[in-house]
Amino acid sequence: MAIVQVIEGKTMWRYIMLILALGTLTACGLPHASGGRTSAQNAVKTYVEEDRDWGIPPPDRLRNTKLHEPTPTSIPSGKVIATPALRAMLSTDKKPILINVLQGKSIRTIPGSVWFNGAGVGGDFEDTTQQKLGEKLTTLTIDDKAKAMVFYCLNAECWLAYNAVLRAAQLGYTNLYWYRGGMHAWEAFKGALIPTEDNEW
């Protein structure tokens, strides 16, 4: 009875309005919170895609066809590097050389990258692409075969960077990394990408 008397009249209406207001705020907040979680989950899913295993064996020869299909999870003569490890490397004094080998006239790259447009095409280790890559890497590394280099392209369904690592290994370079997740994995976790024009490498 005492409680009823306290909330009678105007106090009663204020109490009801307060309850309604709180209910509205809660209802409005739920979709926003849920949406936030969904976005985070989607970002993690995209990021984890760089580790996806399609059960493909890693060849030691250049891939010449179907260059935009699922790739292996390992690579001969090189190491696969994921986004957290790459970010850690780039924050040190001994930064690796980043090399984007995606083909095109105008693409986006991770800041600080060199763009070798076409360096990841198929062919063989005696072709003109191999010779050209050898000349460029000699200049880029000041002929240091142990210089750390990270090759990447679009995502885990792009063979161009895989091919480029094999080419570099054939040239005698020993500290090679394949950033398998590429630009998609980098961007999924808010890594910056900048526009780059064809440099006629």
Outline where DSSP puts E strands in 35-92.
79-80
Measured between alpha carbons, how far apart are the two ends of the chain, in Å? Answer: 87
Long-range contacts, stretch 35-43, CB < 8 angstroms, 24+ apart: 43/188, 43/189
Q: What pLDDT score was predicted for residue 196?
A: 83
Whether residue 3 is predicted with pLDDT greater than 80 in this model: the reply is no
Structure tokens at 69: 């299909």
- Tell me the pLDDT tens digit for each residue of 36-85: 434 444 444 545 589 999 999 999 999 999 999 999 999 999 999 999 99
User: Could you tell me which residues come within 8 angstroms of residue 86 by beta carbon, excluding any fewer than 6 positions away?
Assistant: 150, 177, 179, 186
For 3, 11, 13, 20, 21, the CA distances from 6, given in Å and listed in that order, are 5, 7, 11, 19, 20
> What is the rounded distance in angstroms from the CA atom of residue 167 to the CA atom of residue 165?
5
Q: Model pTM?
A: 0.76
Q: What is the pLDDT of residues 152-198, one digit of tens each?
A: 999 999 999 999 999 999 999 999 999 999 999 999 888 889 988 76
pLDDT one-digit tens code per residue, 89-122: 999 999 999 999 999 888 899 999 999 999 999 9
Own/partner pairs, 37-42, CB within 8 angstroms, 24+ separation: none
d(CA 90, CA 87): 5
Whole-number Å distance between alpha carbons of 111 and 108: 9
| Beta bridge partner(s), residue 108 | 195
Are 87 and 97 spatial neighbours (Cβ–Cβ below 8 Å)?
Answer: no
Bridge partners of residue 149, in order along the sequence: 97, 176
